[in-house]
C-alpha cells in the first residue's frame, strides 16, 4: 500500500490498516520535513507557544517503525504512473504500488487581484496550513504587533483570538455579512463577533481589502473597498482552502470539487483511492459532497483502509466541526442552511445550543460550551424523527429523553 499525504487522513488510514490486521507493506509519503502532526493547534495552542512540536505529533516518533510503516519524510510525490502502478517522487525515485491512497489534503487558498498583496511583502504575508506557517506567526507574536486577517473563517477567527490574547492587535476583514458563515447561522456568528469585539478584535464585515502598500519602514497600509484605511505589521490571508488535486490529475483521475470517489473511496482509476479533504465523495444522506474537517479526515482515512481490505460498509457520518476561541468550545453537527433555529439556553451567558430544524426534523446543531447536548443532538439528527421546537427549547426537559 502506498499512501500519499501524511496529514490526519493519511496517518489514520495507515493506522487503521494495521489495526484491521493488514500485514503487507505500507509506505506513507510526507512532503514536509517534520514527523506528521495535527493541524488544529497551528492557529491556537501551537501558535501561542502553549504546545510544542512534540505535543502536536499525530503519533509518537517510534510508532511508525513499531507499526512497520515506512515514513518517507520530506519526499514530495510528483506524479502517478497509473499504467505501471507506481508513484514517482520529485527526486526521481519510483515506488510501485498495489493500491494507492491519495490523502493529499488541501492548501491555503491564495487571494488574487489585490494590488500590492503578494510576494513583495515577504515574511509579513501569511497563510496558515503548515507548522512552518505557524512558526512564522509565532515569531512575530510580540505585544503591540498589528495583525490584519483577510477572511473571517475558522482559521482567521481562531488566530485572531490567539494573537489578541498574546497582546497583539487584530483586525478581521470579512467579505460576507457575518463571520464564519459556512459554519454558523447568523445568530451564532453575531454572538461570536460580540465576544471578539469584547476581547479587542476589530471586525469589518461586508467589505474587502482593495490595495496594499508597504512603507520603507516595513509598515503596511491597507485600503478597504469602503474607503477605510489602516496600518498593520502583518497580513494573514485566511480565505479558505483548495483541495490539492495535482497528483490526481497526473493519474487522470476524475476531479470535480475534489477527486471524485464513490462511497468506498474509489477514484475513477483502478487501484487508486482518495480520502479526506481532497475527496469529493458519495454520502448516503448528503449526496456528492466534499468536507474539510478534522473528524472527517480521521474517519474517511479509516474508511479508506477498511474499503481496501474489502469491508464496504457505507460512510454515513454526520459532519462535526469544532472550534476553540477564548474560553469557548463551539461544535457544529450536521447542517444549518435553510433551517429554522431554536435556541436552548441563554446566549448572554455564553452557554447554549442552537438546533437547526427543517421538515420537522433536526438537521444540525451548534453547541456553545454546552457539550452535554452533543450526543443527544447527534442521535436526533441521525434518527430524523419529528421533533418539537418548544420541547427542545425547554431547559426543564432532559434533552437526553427527547
Query: Considering beta carbons, is residue 134 or 171 the nearer one to other proteins?
Result: 134
- Residues in 51-110 that interact with other proteins by CB under 8 A: 55, 57-60
287-289 and 125-126: which strand pairing?
unpaired
Please choose, from the candidates 328, 329, 383, 374, the residue with its C-alpha nearest in 3D space to the C-alpha of residue 355.
Answer: 374
Binding status of residue 246 toward other proteins by CB under 8 A: no
Q: How far is CA 277 from the centre of its chain?
A: 8
Binding status of residue 400 toward other proteins by CB under 8 A: no
CA distance 278 to 261: 10
Query: Considering beta carbons, is residue 325 or 363 the nearer one to other proteins?
Result: 325
Query: Considering beta carbons, is residue 38 or 169 the nearer one to other proteins?
Result: 38
Query: Considering beta carbons, is residue 109 or 374 the nearer one to other proteins?
Result: 374
- Residues in 310-329 that interact with other proteins by CB under 8 A: 322, 324, 327, 329
Report in angstroms how near the CB of residue 30 gets to other proteins at its nearest. Answer: 17
Query: Considering beta carbons, is residue 94 or 372 the nearer one to other proteins?
Result: 372
Helix (H/G/I), strand (E/B), else coil: 191: helix
Query: Considering beta carbons, is residue 184 or 320 the nearer one to other proteins?
Result: 320
DSSP string of 287-329, one letter each residue: EEE----HHHHHHHHHHHHHHHTT------PPPEEEEEETTEE
Are 43 and 158 a contacting pair, CB within 8 Å? yes
- Residues in 22-61 that interact with other proteins by CB under 8 A: 38, 40, 55, 57-60
Report in angstroms how near the CB of residue 77 gets to other proteins at its nearest. Answer: 25
Considering only 121, 175, 294, 391, the residue that binds other proteins (CB under 8 A) is: 294
Binding status of residue 371 toward other proteins by CB under 8 A: yes
Letters for 254-293 (x = contact with other proteins by CB under 8 A, - = none) are ----------------------------------------
Considering only 293, 331, 353, 363, the residue that binds other proteins (CB under 8 A) is: 331
Helix (H/G/I), strand (E/B), else coil: 368: strand
Binding status of residue 372 toward other proteins by CB under 8 A: yes
Query: Considering beta carbons, is residue 176 or 329 the nearer one to other proteins?
Result: 329
Q: Could you tell me the three cell numbers for 78? A: 510528483
Beta strands, E only, 161-240: 169-174, 202-205, 209-214, 220-224, 229-232, 234-237
Are 149 and 37 a contacting pair, CB within 8 Å? no
Considering only 298, 332, 363, 366, the residue that binds other proteins (CB under 8 A) is: 298
CA distance 219 to 231: 7
CA distance 328 to 351: 9
CA distance 206 to 208: 7
Query: Which residues of the shown chain bind other proteins in the complex (CB under 8 A)?
Result: 8, 12, 38, 40, 55, 57-60, 294-295, 298, 322, 324, 327, 329, 331, 371-372, 374-375
Amino acid at each position: 500500500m502506498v499512501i500519499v499525504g501524511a496529514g490526519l487522513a493519511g496517518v489514520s488510514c495507515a493506522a487503521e490498516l494495521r489495526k484491521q490486521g493488514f500485514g503487507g507493506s505500507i509506505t506513507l509519503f510526507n512532503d514536509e520535513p517534520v514527523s506528521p502532526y495535527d493541524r488544529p493547534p497551528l492557529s491556537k495552542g501551537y501558535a501561542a507557544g502553549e504546545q510544542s512540536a512534540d505535543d502536536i505529533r499525530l503519533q509518537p516518533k517510534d510508532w511508525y517503525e513499531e507499526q512497520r510503516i515506512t515514513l518517507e519524510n520530506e519526499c514530495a510525490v510528483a506524479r502517478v504512473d497509473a499504467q505501471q502502478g507506481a508513484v514517482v517522487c520529485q527526486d526521481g525515485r519510483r515506488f510501485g504500488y498495489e493500491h494507492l491512497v491519495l490523502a493529499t489534503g488541501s492548501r491555503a487558498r491564495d487571494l488574487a487581484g489585490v494590488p500590492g498583496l503578494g510576494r513583495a511583502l515577504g515574511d509579513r504575508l501569511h497563510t496558515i496550513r503548515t507548522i512552518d506557517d505557524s512558526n512564522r506567526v509565532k515569531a512575530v507574536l510580540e505585544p503591540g504587533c498589528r495583525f490584519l486577517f483577510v477572511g473571517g473563517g475558522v482559521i482567521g477567527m481562531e488566530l485572531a483570538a490567539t494573537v489578541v490574547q498574546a497582546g497583539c492587535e487584530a483586525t478581521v476583514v470579512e467579505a460576507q455579512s457575518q463571520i464564519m458563515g459556512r459554519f454558523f447561522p447568523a445568530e451564532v456568528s453575531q454572538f461570536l463577533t460580540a465576544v471578539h469585539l469584547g476581547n479587542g478584535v476589530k471586525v469589518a464585515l461586508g467589505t474587502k481589502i482593495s490595495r496594499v502598500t508597504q512603507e520603507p519602514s516595513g509598515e503596511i497600509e491597507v485600503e478597504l473597498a469602503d474607503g477605510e484605511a489602516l496600518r498593520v505589521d502583518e497580513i494573514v490571508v485566511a480565505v479558505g482552502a483548495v483541495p490539492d488535486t495535482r497528483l490526481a490529475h497526473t493519474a487522470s483521475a476524475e476531479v470535480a470539487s475534489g477527486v471524485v470517489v464513490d462511497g468506498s473511496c474509489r477514484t475513477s482509476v483502478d487501484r487508486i483511492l482518495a480520502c479526506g479533504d481532497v475527496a469529493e465523495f458519495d454520502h448516503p444522506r448528503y449526496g456528492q459532497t466534499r468536507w474539510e474537517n478534522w473528524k472527517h479526515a480521521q474517519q474517511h482515512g479509516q474508511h479508506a483502509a477498511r474499503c481496501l481490505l474489502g469491508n464496504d460498509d457505507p460512510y454515513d457520518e454526520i459532519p462535526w466541526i469544532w472550534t476553540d476561541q477564548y474560553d469557548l468550545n463551539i461544535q457544529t453537527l450536521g447542517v444549518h442552511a435553510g433551517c429554522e433555529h431554536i435556541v436552548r439556553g441563554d446566549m448572554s451567558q455564553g452557554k447554549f445550543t442552537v438546533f437547526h430544524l427543517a421538515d420537522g426534523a433536526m438537521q444540525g446543531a451548534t453547541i456553545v460550551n454546552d457539550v452535554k447536548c452533543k450526543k443527544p443532538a447527534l442521535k436526533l439528527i441521525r434518527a430524523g424523527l419529528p421533533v418539537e421546537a418548544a420541547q427542545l427549547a425547554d431547559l426543564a426537559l432532559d434533552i437526553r429523553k427527547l
